[in-house]
Structure 1
Amino acid sequence: MALNNPELLPIKEVFDYFAGELFAGMDEATRIFLLKTAFLPEIEPFSAQKLTGVPHAGQVLSELHEKNCFTERRFETESAYRYHPLFREFLIDRAHQHFSREEIHTIRHDAAAVLDELGRTESAVELLIEAQCWEEAAQLIIREAPVYITQGRSKTMLQWIGRLPIDRAEKTPYLFFWKGACQLCENPAESFESFKRAYQIFRERGDQVGLCLSWAAGADATLYSDFAYQDWIPALEEYMQLNPVFPNPGIEARVIASLFNAMSLQQPEHPRLPEMEARAYAYYCQPGALDFTVRLETGLYLVVFNLWFGEIVKARFIVDMLGDISCGAVVSDLTIITLKTTQALVDFFTASFVSCREAVFEAVKLSEETGISIWTCHVLGHGLAAALSDGDLAMADILLARLKDNLGRAGVMDVGYYHFGLAWRARAKGDLAGAYLNLEIAGSILAGLDNLPCHAVLHTSLAELCFRRGDDCSARKHLDMARAVGVRMRSRVVEFMCLVLEAEMELEQGREVVGIDLLCSAFALGRACGIVNTYWWQPEIMVRLCLKALQAGIETDYVRGLIRSRGLVPQKPPMDMEEWPWKVKIYSLGRFELYINGNLMRSSGKVQKKPLEMLKSLIVLGGSESREGQVADLLWPESDGDTAKNSLKITLHRLREMLGNERVVQIREGKLSLDQHQVWVDAWAFEEMLQTRGSDDRDDEYMRRAEKALCLYRGHFLDEDHDKPWTVTLRKRLRDRFKHAVVAQGNLWREKGAADRAVACYQRGLDVDDLAEEVYRC
């Protein structure tokens, strides 16, 4: 009887066939060989020989294959075989009939040992569990757990541990330890409970190494959860009092790193936190002191601590070092996602928005591919904050939608953060009511969460909104609460946020002296810490404060750097403010000097002559919507239309190249303009400062502005280009305005009884224009 498709027949008929037609015709040695090797999922000559003691096992396997005895040769390698699943099932059934229970136990144990020796751990564990070799299975699971977790195979490990008897886990606390490690990605709360049970058993046994490792792992698990674990840090502090010396330096590094991590998040006001930060940072920087996973977690919390503390440069150094280390290491998917999440946070604080967006989408993509969602909402939140701070509302809407899609598996903090993002988005659109509503929702969600940075940001945001809505009392209350949280956190960033907001409030309410004082403190702190971004960033507020700071001479280098890095642009170009960090500054009164990004451009002669002439012509024409033909007529009066038009096109290209920014010189519908948000011209500033005057010529503000205008006029407009007819009209107008302003300002000083200042004013006019008869008459 042939049996070509045994899987199509009833199992009894199949087994009867194997017993009567196949098995009965074999010699006893072959039958024993088959019964023992059936416990191997795949059979190689070496493993078969070790298990059966048959020296020519390879020959036996080859003959079984050639005789078509349901023995398949694997295609991957010619020396590996596998029994047909039904034939193997028959053999194992027959083995249980032929061997005693003790003999089956021994065969399985020996087969597992052979498989383990060959590196086929998974099959070995399965055999040990089937054989109820609990001790050997537990030890093999414990040995292989780090490898499986790194490979992302935590679920397999959890299944194996779950198949062991409960009392075995109680006898082997490292099973609880590795169970916790496997649960971390999916359920941090359950993970903590497993580490906690391991810790309790180790403590009962006096196993200090196990106790320290399980405490540290439990502390790390709390970092991934929304819930507070108030007793966990005191438990270790009690241990450290009784055992001031750790079992070994490696254990000490591991515990101190985790203690710092837990303190920085759960007890930021703890008096020993600065000491723990210093020790954790030392271990972090010491090669080999911490394994990579712990080093990653420590780096993450060192970054968070230092960002909020105001050590932003140090935080960037830490995350960059971690990136360098990870390049040469075999790391898990969770590690990569954690690293990307940390990078995105640092990029937010340093206003590196392009880099932040890249890190966010790389992390989210890997999360979706692997199913590791523990950081998904966090990293989306970092991206959302970056987009809102950068004013990229389209990207903010995309990230809000992605965040909403993930709320089903989000923690309390993530849900609260989603509503905070909605509030920030509404504030950016000018919807104060919508912003306030979502901040209140976020506050109610996060009320029970002891996350100090969240509360600091919420209170500063509510303070700003209350102030905008005219509720000064509530604004002050929230500001005080934010400041109190910042003190608990030791956060100089929160202090900066509070000082900036309070300065804005005081200045808005006309308390200039107090506001300027607060602004000095805020920007001095910002300079010391390198702060360029915060949560709830409002560009219009920062523009106003930066303008005020430059006017008052407050931290001018820091303020200019802040304006440049954040691209702060006032709605109305502040032409009266020479100190503003203009991308292009042009001096045309008494000399011609061109500064690009603060650097004086040295003329290279004839090559730049025509582009510079074009620039001067645009200044003469007012810098706004000058017709191409008008510019061409000034520069190429002798050329015909086509030639002049082509020359203008070439010269415009060269001018833009010279200025290094196409947007500085704009062309729209045949009209040329200089972008007055980027270009400052002393002649334009001179005229604007003399035009913007109060109703009373004697008011101090007008005199201050007039004095500043007169200081700008160091000579006549483009005097070296006196041969250019198109410069004459503007030159004369500016000269007349200068003479009139000198006389008016001098007379005002004289009326105020400041004769010496009046004389100095008149003399300045004569120094610039010794032919000014109007001044001589004064």
Structure 2
Amino acid sequence: MVSSALPSKLVPPEPYGLVSRHRLFNEIRQAPPRSLIWIAAPPGAGKSSTAATWLHAGVGSAHQRHGIWYRLDEMDANPCLFFQSLKRSIARLPGAPVDALPDLTPEALPGLHEFAENWFEELLRDEGRPPYLFVFDDVHRLPSEAAPLGILPILAGQLRADDQVLCLSRQDPSESVLATLPPSRLIQILDLRVQIDEFEDFKRDLGSSEELTRSAFVARLRQSGHWIADLVVASSSRLPLRQLSALPPSAFTQFFSSYSEAERQGLLATAFLQAGHEEEWGALGGADAVAAVMRLAEERSLLTRLVNGALRKHDLFFEWLKAAAEATLAPGDLQKARLHTGRLLLGRGELLTGARLLLEASAHEEVEILVRDQAQDLIGAGQNRELLQLITMLPERTQAEPAIRISQAYARLPFEPQAARADFAGLWRSLDPAAEASLYVQAVYGEVRAALADWSLDTRLMALVAETRPALDLVREAPEPVRHQLAVGRALAMLLGEPTHPDVPSAHAELEQALPLLPPTIQLSTGSLLANYFLWWRGDLEAGRFQVDALRPLVGRADIPPLATLSWYYAAAAVAFRDGNGEALRRLADEAKAFAHQWGISHRLSTIAWVLAQAFAAEGSHADARGALHQYERIVGYSRGANIPGPHMLRAAVALSAGDHDQAIAEAHQALSIALKSGASQEIGNQTFLLGMAQAAVGDEAARVSIAELRELATRARNAVFALHADLADAFLAHTQGRMSEFVQLWARMGQAACRLRFRQITGMNRPYLGRLANDALSHGADVRITRDVIELWRLAPPDNGSVDERWPYPVEFYCLGGFAIHLRGDKIRAGQGKAQRKPLELLWLLIIADERGVSQDLLADQLWPELDGDRAMHTLRTTVYRLRKLIGAEAILQEDDHVRLNTTIVRTDFGRLRTALSRLNDPRLPQAERGVAFDQVLRLYRGPLLPGISLDSVIEERERLAGALVSKALGFLMTLDPADPITAVRVHRLRTAAPDMKLPPAIARLWSVEA
């Protein structure tokens, strides 16, 4: 139905024979940049001829312009069609960035302003391009509330200095234009009447056909009332155009008395076509019609020649000729004229105008066939609103037919998903699946799609699954694609809406088997939903990752609807969240936001924000988590209202990750209350695990109820994510209540579940809290291997109170006492001893002996490269830090506030542990037993001098200080002990073994003999 030729509405008039009016050109030229030039005048005043000559006559740089001519009509009130036609006109211009201009789809309509800004910004971005001149003709034909009237000021705001936009209308600017543009940028040209001082323009452009004198020009001005349409009509014209509207249609024969009867009949046969080529006039009225039209073309006020060779009737003449046809043609001939013109327009892709003519010709069946045959193509092309208008033209009995109602519901789905869902639900429940299998299945699948369009997963999906079960047997004889679509629809509804259903495993298998057979447009969205099911409903990270990777080639394809691509981004972001890959997650989020902005569907980014809030909270980026939460709240508040659990759930998750358990409990209670009303088991489970974990973290016995409900739901839904959270909550509660023996067992069970799942991040994760629990688990005898695996999986940091269990698995460990060694994840690595590797090691040794603040960059540069000036030394330091990171890992070294230090959350040194033990040994506030443990640890750690053989001044100084501190603090502690206690003697012996050259103070020498 779509012609490849440029429609006549996008073709400017041929300038030959038109007058270039420099008085008006000067007004256009003086308009300030980024203004909207509004030319308003009655019909026949010369609006189109002024714009056409300005475009074509080469005024200033006009010959270099990219000219866009767009004659608007009622159909262009649909913004999707508006941008489609505009893009089609731009596509013919050399160098235009047409591939970067997206099609406006119905999904983007709520974000139309953003879409338009981005669209015009992309079009006009290149500053080296020729200037654009946009001419929008017949703007008055748009309804006052039409969206393109609000788009025109957006275009004006994106113009560059030499660009212009002209609007030609019979009316003053609409309220939407006046409200958007300041008066200084809305230039109105209202007086188009010809002035006497324009004589030279008319003499120049009309003098070739007749010698025009000033007196003749003045006489014509008076006769025409200064209107250009009547001024330029040849003297043989029978009637001024401005008086044509007052001539009754019944005077048609009188008006065309010089035409033959055959020419008059041929002309009437073309009455309903406003613009066309010679062959189109001939198709409607034969050779006589062509002759009549060509003859009329000589009277330039009645027809205008377009630059593509087509002829266009003036609006007044077009309306008058239609009225004449209706008044003079016999009923059969009138019906034939409408029918033939309607079919011709349909062939050109002018659906609404063509359909109206067919209906006026009583060809209702043809329009019905058009709707049925073209519905999917129109929806695929984003012409949903046009399809809805076509449907409203049909008789009520036809509109009530199931096939038409299904097309209507699918057309409404992108921008009214809830209304479409209600339509689909009513339809499939009213249909007989055995007799009307195809329609029944389309309606079932439509309801599922509508529910998933805004994640409205509730009991209605459960009802759909239950009620459509008998239909599986009733459609066995239907074609395979019909059965296939029903199976896919039910499987999606079951997996996402009722995951506790016993048939979920078979539905899951059927969906995976069917997925490769689906068309790409459905495959991407369905596969992305399946990936999300794996990641959130099941807890199968590898299956979700496989789906995301397998679907990646479909992302960004031109034939893929933008919402399908966005659904892939949701799934890919979920994989990055579960992987704990913050860098990938932020990159995907930026890509999704840019993609949504390009297509004007930023209002559909709520799920991205939902994932981001949980991920940022889990990684400890609480400010970023709150930002994502606020973004989510803005989006869902705009698109879905407040009565959903999502905002409360995210507040609970963010609070739980930050350790604010009271707020987490309050928000989770509210979220659960809303979820219970919807009846969706997944939503109920999400809120229950947050509530249970928060209650358990404060020792609330109510957690037991939440945990039991969550376990029961996890079992029925086969949801390993819920099971893990139940295990965590159990461990939390035992730990908080001091039931440490039970805690150790529950921790081991939780650890096994976490290692099976392999999620590096989970919702509500509080890493510092989990780190303390892991340390306590090690201290109380938990399975070391499982606990260490959990610490590594979740990247837990040791408690910051200094009492870290010896078995805590630091990824990076340095041994500096009595020698030097580097261990990465338990494996000793070789550190090169060559000259090239020496400086990174010297840097490392200085960082090892530094305090918790590290070492200033200036001091490091001075110590390591005293021979270099400041800038060269700092540059060399940066290079050396990079090389050291390559050796021990990028995260092992931190640069903050002009200082460099080791990251003590993942790096441990025996020197640092010794320093901590010495501090505890010397702390008189601690019980003597604890100081004794510290004494034993000091002697166990001290295997020899600090970094022996290293001659750096700072290392030598710290080596001597450490040896002195060890002796003095150890002896000071020994002085507090009972000399008669055998353990005291053992400790003295250990101290002398560790420091054989030590000299005992006289007091101790008198108390203990060497043999002691």
Q: What CA distance in whole angstroms lies between the structure 2 residues aligned with 1:597 and 1:22?
A: 99
Q: What CA distance in whole angstroms lies between the structure 1 residues aligned with 2:284 and 2:730?
A: 80
In the TM superposition, residue 605 of structure 1 has moved relative to its aligned partner by 0.9
Counterpart residue number, 1:71: 303
Counterpart residue number, 1:388: 617
In the TM superposition, residue 400 of structure 1 has moved relative to its aligned partner by 3.8
Counterpart residue number, 2:914: 686
Counterpart residue number, 1:40: 273
Q: What CA distance in whole angstroms lies between the structure 2 residues aligned with 1:315 and 1:83?
A: 61
Q: 2:750 aligns with which of 509, 512, 522?
A: 522
Q: 1:113 aligns with which of 343, 350, 367?
A: 343
- Say which is worse superposed, 13-22 or 247-256, in terms of deviation: 13-22
Q: 1:269 to 1:16 in 2, by over 3 A?
A: closer
Counterpart residue number, 1:166: 396
SS in 2 for 1:717: coil
Tell me whether 1:538 sits opposite 2:771 in the alignment: no
Counterpart residue number, 1:291: 519
Q: 1:252 to 1:88 in 2, by over 3 A?
A: same
Counterpart residue number, 2:416: 187
Counterpart residue number, 2:442: 213
Whether contact under 8 Å (1:560, 1:580) holds in the other structure is yes
In the TM superposition, residue 273 of structure 1 has moved relative to its aligned partner by 0.5
Q: Which amino acid aligns with 1:726?
A: E
Tell me whether 1:555 sits opposite 2:786 in the alignment: yes
Q: What CA distance in whole angstroms lies between the structure 1 residues aligned with 2:298 and 2:272?
A: 21
Q: 2:726 aligns with which of 480, 498, 502?
A: 498
Q: Which amino acid aligns with 1:593?
A: A
Tell me whether 1:489 sits opposite 2:722 in the alignment: no
Q: 1:199 to 1:644 in 2, by over 3 A?
A: closer
Q: 1:205 to 1:618 in 2, by over 3 A?
A: closer
Q: What CA distance in whole angstroms lies between the structure 1 residues aligned with 2:858 and 2:399?
A: 89
Whether contact under 8 Å (2:652, 2:690) holds in the other structure is no
Tell me whether 1:240 sits opposite 2:472 in the alignment: yes
5 Å matches for 1:562-581? 562-564=793-795, 568=797, 570-572=799-801, 577=806, 579-581=808-810
Tell me whether 1:85 sits opposite 2:318 in the alignment: no
In the TM superposition, residue 92 of structure 1 has moved relative to its aligned partner by 1.7
Q: 1:687 to 1:150 in 2, by over 3 A?
A: same
Counterpart residue number, 2:105: none
Counterpart residue number, 2:701: 473
Identity %: 21
Tell me whether 1:441 sits opposite 2:666 in the alignment: no
> How far does the alpha carbon of each residue in 1:257-312 deviate from its partner, in whole angstroms, 9 at most, with x for none?
2111100122211111011111101222x2xx112343234223312321131111
In the TM superposition, residue 53 of structure 1 has moved relative to its aligned partner by 3.9
Counterpart residue number, 1:607: 836
Tell me whether 1:96 sits opposite 2:321 in the alignment: no
Q: What CA distance in whole angstroms lies between the structure 1 residues aligned with 2:846 and 2:596?
A: 57
Q: 1:332 aligns with which of 541, 551, 561?
A: 561
Whether contact under 8 Å (1:412, 1:446) holds in the other structure is no
Q: Which runs of 5+ in 2 are unaligned?
A: 1-222, 231-239, 1001-1008
In the TM superposition, residue 603 of structure 1 has moved relative to its aligned partner by 1.2
Whether contact under 8 Å (2:338, 2:361) holds in the other structure is yes
Counterpart residue number, 1:755: none
RMSD: 4.4
Counterpart residue number, 2:258: 25
> How far does the alpha carbon of each residue in 1:441-480 deviate from its partner, in whole angstroms, 9 at most, with x for none?
333333301222322222222223334555x222222222
In the TM superposition, residue 313 of structure 1 has moved relative to its aligned partner by 1.8
Counterpart residue number, 1:271: 502
> How far does the alpha carbon of each residue in 1:697-717 deviate from its partner, in whole angstroms, 9 at most, with x for none?
668x976x8887766555543
Whether contact under 8 Å (1:37, 1:43) holds in the other structure is no
Q: What CA distance in whole angstroms lies between the structure 2 residues aligned with 1:629 and 1:178?
A: 72
Q: 1:316 aligns with which of 545, 565, 582?
A: 545
Q: 2:491 aligns with which of 260, 263, 272?
A: 260
Q: 1:14 to 1:366 in 2, by over 3 A?
A: farther
Greater C-alpha Rg: 2
Counterpart residue number, 2:145: none
- Say which is worse superposed, 477-486 or 63-72, in terms of deviation: 63-72
- Say which is worse superposed, 7-16 or 445-454, in terms of deviation: 7-16
SS in 2 for 1:82: strand
SS in 2 for 1:680: strand
Tell me whether 1:652 sits opposite 2:877 in the alignment: yes
SS in 2 for 1:269: coil
Q: What CA distance in whole angstroms lies between the structure 2 residues aligned with 1:350 and 1:667?
A: 27
SS in 2 for 1:586: strand
Q: 2:284 aligns with which of 19, 30, 51?
A: 51
Whether contact under 8 Å (1:360, 1:382) holds in the other structure is no
Counterpart residue number, 2:579: 350
Whether contact under 8 Å (1:456, 1:494) holds in the other structure is yes
In the TM superposition, residue 388 of structure 1 has moved relative to its aligned partner by 2.8
> How far does the alpha carbon of each residue in 1:584-632 deviate from its partner, in whole angstroms, 9 at most, with x for none?
4322123322356777353151123234224324434546455779768
Whether contact under 8 Å (2:668, 2:691) holds in the other structure is yes
Counterpart residue number, 2:738: 510
Whether contact under 8 Å (1:575, 1:688) holds in the other structure is no
Counterpart residue number, 2:814: 586
Counterpart residue number, 2:534: 306
Q: What CA distance in whole angstroms lies between the structure 2 residues aligned with 1:301 and 1:720?
A: 62
Q: What CA distance in whole angstroms lies between the structure 1 residues aligned with 2:862 and 2:428?
A: 87
Whether contact under 8 Å (1:39, 1:108) holds in the other structure is yes
**What is the TM-score when the length of structure 1 is the normalising length?**
0.83
Q: What CA distance in whole angstroms lies between the structure 1 residues aligned with 2:539 and 2:917?
A: 39
SS in 1 for 2:702: helix
Counterpart residue number, 1:461: 690
Q: 1:305 to 1:646 in 2, by over 3 A?
A: closer
Q: 1:256 to 1:124 in 2, by over 3 A?
A: same
Q: What CA distance in whole angstroms lies between the structure 2 residues aligned with 1:547 and 1:218?
A: 51
Equivalenced residues, count: 750
Whether contact under 8 Å (1:590, 1:714) holds in the other structure is yes
SS in 2 for 1:473: coil
Whether contact under 8 Å (1:456, 1:483) holds in the other structure is no
SS in 2 for 1:203: coil
In the TM superposition, residue 157 of structure 1 has moved relative to its aligned partner by 1.1
Q: 1:404 to 1:575 in 2, by over 3 A?
A: closer
Q: What CA distance in whole angstroms lies between the structure 2 residues aligned with 1:16 and 1:109?
A: 21
**What is the TM-score when the length of structure 2 is the normalising length?**
0.65
SS in 1 for 2:252: helix
